[in-house]
Amino acid sequence: MTWVQRGLRYLRLLAVVLWASAFASPAPADVSKQFELSLQGQFFPGLSSDPADIREQFFTGIEAEFSSDFDSEHLIGTFLPYGRIASGGGEMNHVDIRELNLLYTQDNWEGIAGISRVFWGVTESGHLVDIINQTDQLEGFDGEDKLGQAMIRISRLFDQSTVDLYALPGFREREFLPPGQPLALPFTISDDKPLYGAGNEAQHMDFALRLSGYQGIADYGLSWFSGTSRDPEFVLQSTGTYRPRYPLIHQAGLDLQLTLDSWLWKLEAIHRTFESDTVTDDFTAIIGGTEYTIYGLADALFDLGLLAEWHGDSREDRTTVPMQNDLFAGLRVSFSDTQSSEFLAGIFSDLDDGSDSVRVEASRRILGDARITLEAQSFVNVDSGNALSYLKDSDFIVLSLQLFF
């Protein structure tokens, strides 16, 4: 597959040349720029006052976004670097190129080359089908943050559906929270480079195919992924540390949403098979549920959404799979005020061992166009045999302020 990699290298070079010319030519193409400065405080009130415990930490992050059409009808270039500085420094400082790509569109065809991000799926309390990008674990506990992934995507857009074909060179390892971090895994990750199912390790070319579209009230997606798993297994080393191993997998995915008046019915399902010599068995996992919204309550002051989603996993092992038979129940309040205030509260319950975790998210626009966000999670009652038992003292409150320029 070196032709794809070589092609990608040329396209990256082309991107750099186009960017340089967009800035430097005598009549520069319009480059739209925007910057987001974020200030974040993380608090862990459940931890001891032992100096070894991190009870609070602070981050300053900046995300820039440059985009340009290079005075062309068909091209859009995007460059989106991100970086943050942590009060504790070290491994919690973080830099990533979220996007650096060129998008070419022609009639019903679309092609992208470079680093980009992709989201697939419909459910709210978890994401199963979404697989293209590696999860950015340094940024958030909820797994919503993603690392940029190098790709070539070719898409054919039809009236009510789209077919996407992806070639994904250059695997990205998961970046684990360093030891001592309150939300870090309960074992030591080996410093050795990870193990891979693929002979050519991180150079392995992954492929994905997706058909998505809508028909009346139904929005659907069918996907296939073949390549290196984004989720590591852990192999115990003789030193007592655990070494991440990224097996080769094949994964079929389905996502479906039915939009029926005030009801949204949602389903995500995956079936993952592993190539030989893996420690994990093939499995099927699903998230299915509903969101019902009551509009215009209290004299049109707010809308109230009620959510319920069930997570199931054929591995059925509550000690290693966090969401093997769990229910999420929540409510969402969207205010119709000029600050677009939002509030979401929910509880994850393990139906096998009764473990409960409560999550709250709230946000509101302030000072014209800044946004303040609160995110908190409490592991109120976690059974000692549950996969998340190591987090029982790691209740957290995250307060963020985002400023836009």
Residues making contact with other proteins (CB under 8 A): 32, 34, 67, 69, 76, 103, 105, 107-108, 110, 117-119, 121-122, 144, 155, 157, 159, 162, 212, 214, 219, 257, 259, 261-264, 293, 295-296, 300, 303, 336-340, 365, 368-371, 402, 404-405
Partners of residue 361 on adjacent β-strands: 344, 375
**Distance in Å, CB of 73 to other proteins, minimum:** 10
Contact indicator for 50, 393 with CB cutoff of 8 Å: no
**Smallest separation (angstroms) from other proteins to the CB of 266:** 10
Strand ranges (E), 314-381:
325-335, 342-350, 356-366, 370-381
Is the Cβ of residue 277 or residue 299 nearer to other proteins in the bound state? 299
CA–CA dist 120, 377 (Å, integer) = 25
Q: Which pair of tokens denotes residue 222?
A: 């069918």
Nearer to other proteins, 243 or 359 (CB): 359
Least Å distance between CB 248 and other proteins?
26
Q: How far apart are CA 186 and CA 175, in angstroms?
A: 15
Nearer to other proteins, 46 or 111 (CB): 111
Between 281 and 337, CB nearer to other proteins: 337
Q: Shortest gap between Cβ of 157 and other proteins (angstroms)?
A: 6
Provide the β-strand partners of residue 343: 333, 362
Residue 339 CB, nearest approach to other proteins (Å): 8
- Are 79 and 103 in contact by the 8 Å Cβ rule? The answer is no
Nearer to other proteins, 1 or 297 (CB): 297
Strand order in the sheet with 233-236: 195-196, 242-246, 233-236
Minimum separation from the CB atom of position 310 to other proteins (A): 20
The residue (of 69 and 352) whose beta carbon lies closer to other proteins is 69
Q: In the numeric block, which tokens belong to residue 108?
A: 């019903």
Is-contact 364 340, C-beta < 8 A? yes
Please, what is the minimum distance in Å from the beta carbon of residue 133 to other proteins?
9
Return the residue matching tokens 């609160």.
Answer: 374
Nearest in space to 137 (alpha carbons), one of 174, 171, 173, 172: 174
Closer Cβ to other proteins, 202 or 211, answer by number: 211
Closest distance to other proteins from the beta carbon of 45 (Å): 28
Given the DSSP bridges, would you call strands 302-313 and 283-296 parallel, antiparallel or unpaired? Answer: antiparallel
Nearer to other proteins, 136 or 313 (CB): 136
Helix (H, G, I), strand (E, B) or coil at 257: strand
Nearest distance from residue 96's CB to other proteins, in Å?
15
Rg (CA), the chain: 22
Q: How far is the CB of 368 from other proteins (least distance, A)?
A: 7
Q: Is 228 exposed, middle or buried (0-12, 13-18, 19+ CB in 10 A)?
A: buried
Query: Counting Cβ atoms within 10 Å, is residue 40 exposed (0-12), middle (13-18) or buried (19+)?
Result: buried
76 vs 362, beta carbon nearer other proteins: 76
Tell me the backbone φ, ψ of residue 238, rounded to 5 degrees. -65, -25
- Judged by beta carbon, residue 2 or residue 262, the one nearer other proteins is 262
Going by C-alpha positions, the residue among 143, 129, 57, 133 that lies closest to residue 97 is: 133
